[in-house]
């Protein structure tokens, strides 16, 4: 993808703050971090989102995230960690190259990554379940 910033970053065409790299992925620090250590797992190949990315590459991204998460726990002494992955504008995706956010969390860090719960009746929940399960 010619004009994709994350393709350029992932493939080393634009210098960046790499914290991990292997044959298929580069992990960089987010330049607008939610917390200290907020990082992004970037596949070196271009896939817009979770719908496009092949299963094995998605699995590889989670493997890399697990490795980096362990390092963050050890080196940054974070108290928790969120993995976040946005797909589509409606879900908050702003860069249309698949990426997995690794967000170390600290007690009282003031961030709000969780959603606002709603409530649905048991009937509506069951309808949704059937639709998704294909029943
Ligand atoms: P999204 O909202 O698409 O899930 O996340 C995009 C993330 O990429 C944002 O957190 C944003 O701060 C980060 N970002 C956007 N452009 C750049 C860049 O050029 N370099 C780095 N390091 N991070 C970027
Ligand atoms: Zn790309």
18-41 pLDDT, tens per residue?
999 999 999 999 999 999 999 999
How far apart are the C-alpha atoms of 91 and 100, rounded to whole Å?
Answer: 13
Nearest CA to ligand 1 atom 13: 30
Question: Whose CA is closest to 84, among 46, 34, 47?
Answer: 34
Ion ligand 2 — residues with CB < 5 Å:
1, 4, 6-7, 46, 97
| pLDDT on residue 2 | 81
Distance 104 CA to ligand 2 centre (A): 25
Q: Is pLDDT above 80 for 1?
A: no
| pLDDT on residue 113 | 87
How far apart are the C-alpha atoms of 82 and 114, rounded to whole Å?
Answer: 10
| pLDDT on residue 127 | 98
Distance 28 CA to ligand 1 centre (A): 10
| pLDDT on residue 34 | 97
Is 31's C-beta closer than 6 angstroms to any atom of ligand 1? yes
Catalytic residues: 99
Write out pLDDT tens, residues 42-61: 999 999 999 999 999 999 99
Is 18's C-beta closer than 6 angstroms to any atom of ligand 1? no
42's enclosing H/E stretch is: strand 39-43
Beta bridge partners of 80: 105
């Amino acid at each position: 993808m010619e004009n994709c910033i994350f393709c350029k970053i992932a493939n080393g065409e634009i210098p960046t703050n790499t914290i991990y790299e292997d044959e298929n992925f580069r992990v960089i620090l987010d330049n607008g971090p939610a917390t200290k250590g907020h990082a992004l797992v970037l596949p070196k190949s271009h896939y817009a989102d979770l719908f496009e990315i092949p299963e094995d590459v998605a699995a590889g991204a989670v493997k890399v995230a697990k490795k980096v998460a362990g390092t963050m726990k050890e080196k940054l002494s974070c108290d928790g960690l969120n993995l976040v992955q946005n797909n589509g504008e409606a879900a908050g995706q702003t860069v249309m190259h698949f990426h997995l956010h690794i967000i170390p969390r600290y007690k009282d860090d003031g961030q709000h990554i969780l959603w606002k719960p709603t409530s649905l009746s048991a009937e509506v929940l069951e309808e949704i379940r059937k639709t998704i399960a294909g029943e």
